[in-house]
Structure 1
Amino acid sequence: MSDWSGAWGGGDWRDEEEDEDEQQAGPGYSATKDCLILLIDVSLGMFVKDEETKGIPFELCIKCARSVLLNKVISSEKDLVGVVFFGTNKENNPSDFKHVYILQDLDMPDAPRIKELETMLEDEGFQTFEKDYGHSNDFSLSDVFWTCSTMLSTSGAKSSHRRILLFTNNDHPHQSNPALQRQAKTKAKDLAENGIEVELMHIGSGFNVTSFYQEIVFSDDGDGTSFPDPSEKFEELLTRVRSKELKKRALQRITFSLGPDLELGVGVYCMVRETKKPSFIRLDKRTNEELKTQTKKLCEDTGSILLPTDIKYYQVLGAGGEKVIFEEEEIKELKNFGKPGFTLMGFRPKSKMKMHHYIKPANFIYPDETTVSGSTKLFSVLLRRCISREVVAVCKYIPRNNSPPIFVALVPQEEELDDSNIQISPPGFHVIFLPFSEDIRSLDLPDEMPKASHEQIDKAKEIIKKLSFNFQSESFENPVIQKHYRVLEALALEHEEEEEITDLTVPDAAQINKRAGKAIDEFMKAVFPDGFDPEAKITKRKASTSTAAAGAAKKAKTDEPVDVESIAKNGTLGKLTNPVLKEYLKSVGKKAAGRKQDLIDAINEHLGL
């Protein structure tokens, strides 16, 4: 029989959903992967140094490919990435097309694939490229696109986004062959119709997009006339962003009840969640294969494996240690407070919201037509009325089955657009979690608190004014996580040293002193007495004679013998400490191990109680 630790909680099977609170997807969600092919032109012109940038275009492409793989390993390791060369003298593809070489097939990024690209960036890699792959201008872009389409269709992965990044510095590869131009344009249209996006990464300031590639690359709105600045795109690819990429999906899709027979569907989204280091994976030390974990419960007396039907749970009631037995179905019934969803309780003025009632990061809700048809219109009306009247909706919220109800305040947010009419903030409600009465603590503060003088307040205001800045969380990376990823990267790629990180959380003492040094000195003089040294070591005050005597008396009191048998007959063993219980069990030759309740059970069994 298992101890059901905690009131209506605790244990493995009961709280397995709690850890997935911010991770689970809504109903009907299935995991998908992004597929990306890096298509690189390796004709001879890509190995000629660019006069403007003083760099070799092919080297820039390989650096981008390496950066993409390194970022994918951390951000979304399940995505598939492939590298294809075109304009080679040799071929390596399923259709045996000439001058098309698949360097890396679509697969999840790993260390060997990254190291292969790093080898090409070395001097020897450039010298042996012509021998290993060769150069040729007799390729067909139609064959190149066909090869990429075949790779994407045969990858076997259910992909949500399929892209081809085309790197080249030749703005018109088929200038003298109209037939190849028509074939390439036709195949490009086929790719667009099949949901495969081709993105041009053109190199060189003299690249004329309109001469050929305007009809090859299609934008989202079907118009291929708009092309971003290539320098910005390359800078984005080369930037190392070591952060986990989370799928933008709803945590739950549930109903929002406004009254009897009046419901709408909403999706609940997580806006902020603490990022932690990835958990380790256990491997077999002989084969280096991932181990599969299985949990089995054994009987303490016989060692036999217990089935779920053999297990019951109990809750200890009172100091006497009485066990109240529950079946699994009874516990589930006790934890069932209704179906998941929001239930409107009423409205409160927005001004009544208190900052100190903040419990956890807020969620966000948006209408969901798949749950209840017509939800968008009803949601929009409710949102507009809450904004115009400056009120919040107070609701009872049950996130999932067997979850306890909690009270939340739905704070309305109006849609915000920038000058280009692009949405900055979506319309919807922020779900603010409210505390229960037991969660709010009252502080016993002294009646008289020391008060600062007007001069001290003015000096403090001056410091705040000089050190104020526009803080944005996006500007600060977690140094612990960044260090973790760099160490793993160095070990996997066999680098001698990991890449150094810049810890942006460390205050810039020089800059602070430059901006507010004088104000800080004046504040120190106004607040602290003359000769005060903030770095001086604080000497610990010696205990008074009365305090020392009280401590000695307390120690002597704990050394007095305890009549465990009398206490056990009175049913108050729970008041004794574990060391006292263990000492008694050892004195009578019994095993003294386990939790406190196990010790109490052992004593009661020994005394026949």
Structure 2
Amino acid sequence: MADFGFARFGDDEEDDEEETEFQFRYGGRDGLIFLIDCSKKMFDPDAGDESHFQLCMKCVMTTMQNKIIGSDKDHVGVVFFGTEKSENPSDFKHIYIYQTLDQPGAERILDLEEMQEKGYKKFGTKYGHSPDYSLSEALWTCATMFSNSAKAINSKRILLFTNNDNPHVGNKQLQRQARTKAADLNETGIELELMHLQKPGEQFDITKFYKDLLFTDDDELTELADPAEKLEELLTRVRTKDHKKRALRKIPFSLGEDLNFSVGVYNLVRSCPKPSGVRLSRSTNEELKSHSKTYLVETGETCWNEKYTFCFMTPLEYDNAVTEIKRFGKSGLTLMGFKPRSKIKKHYHVRPASFIYPDENTIAGSTTLFTALLKKCLDRDVVPICKFTPNKNSPPKFVALIPQKEEIDEHNVQVTPPGFHLIFLPFADDFRKVKIEDVPRATTEQIDKAKEVVKKLAFNFSSESFENPVLQKHWRNIEALALDQDEPEEMIDYTLPNETKMAKRAGKSIDEFKDLVFPADYVPGAKKRAVPSESAAAKKAKLAESMVDIDIKAEAQAGRLGKLTVAVLKEAIKKEKIPSTGSKKADLIDAINKYFGVA
């Protein structure tokens, strides 16, 4: 079963506490070293006037930029092998550490940009080329960089870039040493990934040498992807390998009594907000952290938390009691039965789904059992229904496991991973009745024309094709500021409709649809005309008309002046020529009463 190439993007809000614990336990920091072949063949330009070495530098630069945005605590390093000059702690020949293992920053990105655009032309003079390198020593150098890191690194990975499918040809000893060192790296938890390249018309044969250097945790080694020929292909493969896939949690999956295997739960997609602001010290520019405590005024002693104020327990007893109340049993997935896939409706969506994948490290044989379950569910088109308890302090939920088959593209690169999408099912009280208003119904002709428009405008949707324009603008402005650029890189907002292409593909159908649905004088997007307000002359005439039936003297003697409006009172004063100095309602009433001698 092939490993899947999706990184862990984030967790739900309710799991923030557990995520913090996860990072504390395992470090939460990845280490990535780009090991780049610098032989002369890597510098030969292709038809587009861009060498394989330049493609590698672009990949490294792009990866560092992504790391700064997505996971700035990760460490990245760059090592050249096949150079004439040497620079490494073990004094190995023809191996040069270009950038040490450290956090990515603006200076490093500028250095890589300079190398990719101009520095490669002087590479032979500054660093030189030599075929007398040892790949075993290059791998050893990378392992030494990981071990000498000042920070604890959770995941260690080496990305090897080369277009030579058979290094050390004719030297069996160097080839044997490389295989032995690759096996040592695998035993120590350092993953080696091959990013092989080739030019159009050439062939890169994995079986000659590199297939023996690659290891997998799964029980089956799938066929490797074809060599990359373009920058887009190489960037896609690097993006799937530059980040360790860490499970949100690892839980048991129970198929029945004494039949368990282990799976990892992953969150593939989450919302991506703007980063929150950080308070910094004005003098040192270091991050400020706030701590608060409550003290008794009389003694200066530290007070307990407010939640213990009305509790007849010690803080430890209180916390233990709350913990026990929240527990609903052991965490894990328990199979309850199977349902046809058609029974799972789209409107059952309660919250974003998760993804489960076998965890071979916790229980041996999990991959085999998981693969068998996945294959049978796909063959019979059924969905397992399970009881899901995320952790011991979370209430159980019922979930449906939607099976997904692995898909690869024409270059043998994985597009979708094999596994189950964990869909949270609603409870009975999640369903509500919606009152549907009686509105005009569309005719059959209108519905058919709308279907025609939709069919002509349909395309294969992928969320990766539409970037958030607000976030992109935010990060590009920061990037331009950090890299001393005159202006940020131009951004195209793909969320806006392409009216030209839409008119070309379905312009006639859209016009016909508008003629069927909207009135002849309808203009899409036009503002509604404002209702003309009543003119002052009309208001005055209306007020004079209302004064005809009012006897202001009788109203004053009856004490009903307070029920009249200010406008009516003013009109009455004007009509009867009553002297008045004020404009408030009370002043007008006093003037009228005084004029008619009403007490």
1:538 aligns with 2:528: yes
1:135 to 128, 132, 139: 128
What residue is the counterpart of 2:34 in the other structure?
37
> How far is the alpha carbon of 1:523 from its aligned partner?
1.5
Task: Output the amino acid matched with 1:298.
Answer: T
Task: Tell whether the 8 Å contact from 1:369 to 1:375 is kept in structure 2 after alignment.
Answer: yes
Alignment-derived partner of residue 264 in structure 1? 260
CA spacing shift, 1:400–1:42, aligned 2, 3 Å:
same
Q: Does 1:92 align with 2:84?
A: no
Structure 2 vs 1, CA of residues 298 and 504 (structure 1 numbering), >3 Å: closer, same or farther? same
Equivalent of 2:287, from 290, 295, 300?
290
Per-residue deviation, residues 363-422 of structure 1 (Å, max 9, x unmatched) = 34456677778877887887788778876555543322332333x242452756779999
* Match in the other structure for 1:154: 148
Q: How far apart are 1:450 and its partner, in Å?
A: 0.9
1:436 and 2:454 equivalent? Answer: no
Pick one of 368, 375, 395 that aligns with 1:404.
395
Q: Which residue type is aligned with residue 485 of structure 1?
A: W
The verdict on how the C-alpha distance between 1:358 and 1:27 changes in structure 2, with shifts beyond 3 A counting, is farther
Aligned partners of 2:368, 2:240: CA distance in 1, in Å?
A: 37
The CA deviation string for residues 529-558 of structure 1, in whole angstroms up to 9 with x for no partner, is: 22122322235679999xxxxxxx9xxxxx
Give the C-alpha shift of residue 521 in structure 1: 1.4
Over residues 110-144 of structure 1, what are the superposed CA-to-partner deviations in whole Å (9 max), with x where a residue is unaligned?
21111122333565x5687677x353648543665
* Alignment deviations for residues 176-200 of structure 1 (CA, whole Å, 9 cap, x no partner): xx7xx45643442333222363747
- The letter of the residue matching 1:39 is I
Distance 1:542 1:352, change over 3 A: farther
Question: Given the alignment, which residue of 98, 107, 111 partners 2:106?
Answer: 111
**CA separation of 1:537 and 1:202: change in aligned 2, threshold 3 A:** closer
Q: Is the 8 A contact 1:35 1:152 kept in 2?
A: no
Identity %: 43
Residues 296, 302 of structure 2: 8 Å contact kept: no
How far is 1:342 from its partner?
4.2
Distance 1:128 1:368 in 2: 48
Match of 1:474 in 2: 464
| Structure 1 residue matching 2:451: 3-state secondary structure | helix
The runs of 5 or more residues in structure 2 that have no matched partner are 1-11, 312-316, 540-562, 564-599
Tell me which moved more, 68-77 or 367-376. 367-376
Tell me the equivalent position of 1:583.
Answer: none
Give the TM-score taking structure 1 as reference length.
0.66
Post-superposition Cα deviations, 1:195-226, rounded to whole Å, max 9, x if no partner, equal: 3637475676797878x994477453799x98
8 A contact 1:456–1:527 mirrored in 2: yes
Determine the C-alpha separation between the residues in 1 that align with 2:344 and 2:240: 34
- Determine which structure has more spread, i.e. the larger CA radius of gyration: 2
Q: In structure 2, give the amino acid aligned to 1:191.
A: K
8 Å Cα contact 1:26-1:249 kept in structure 2: no
Distance 1:244 1:489, change over 3 A: farther
Inter-CA distance 199–361: structure 2 relative to 1 (3 Å threshold): closer
Q: 1:201 to 1:467 in 2, by over 3 A?
A: closer
Residues 439, 81 of structure 1: CA spacing in aligned structure 2 closer, same or farther, 3 A cutoff?
same
Distance in 1, matches of 2:225 and 2:309, equals 65
Residues 1:517 and 2:517 aligned together? no
If the length of structure 2 is used for normalisation, what is the TM-score? 0.67
Aligned length: 506
RMSD between superposed Cα atoms in Å: 5.1
User: Amino acid of the residue matched to residue 163 of structure 1?
Assistant: I
Indicate the SS of the match to 2:388. strand
- CA deviation map 1:252-309 (0-9, x unaligned): 33345677x6663453333432333344443323222233x34424369779674546
3-state SS, counterpart of residue 19 of structure 1: helix
Opposite residue 249 of structure 2, the aligned amino acid is: Q
User: Residue 107 of structure 1: CA displacement?
Assistant: 2.2
Q: Alpha carbons of 1:343 and 1:288: their partners in 2 closer, same or farther (altered >3 Å)?
A: same
Tell me, in whole angstroms, the C-alpha distance in 2 between the residues paired with 1:428 and 1:231: 30
Q: 2 CA distance for matches of 1:341 and 1:263?
A: 13
Give the partner amino acid of 1:410: A
Aligned mate of 2:214, from 212, 220, 230: 220
Structure 1 residues 214 and 303: alpha-carbon distance in aligned structure 2, compared to 1, 3 A threshold: farther
- Tell me, in whole angstroms, the C-alpha distance in 2 between the residues paired with 1:413 and 1:519: 38
- Secondary structure in structure 1 of the residue aligned to 2:229: helix
One-letter amino acid matched to 1:512: M
User: Is the Cα contact below 8 Å between 1:166 and 1:199 reproduced in 2?
Assistant: yes
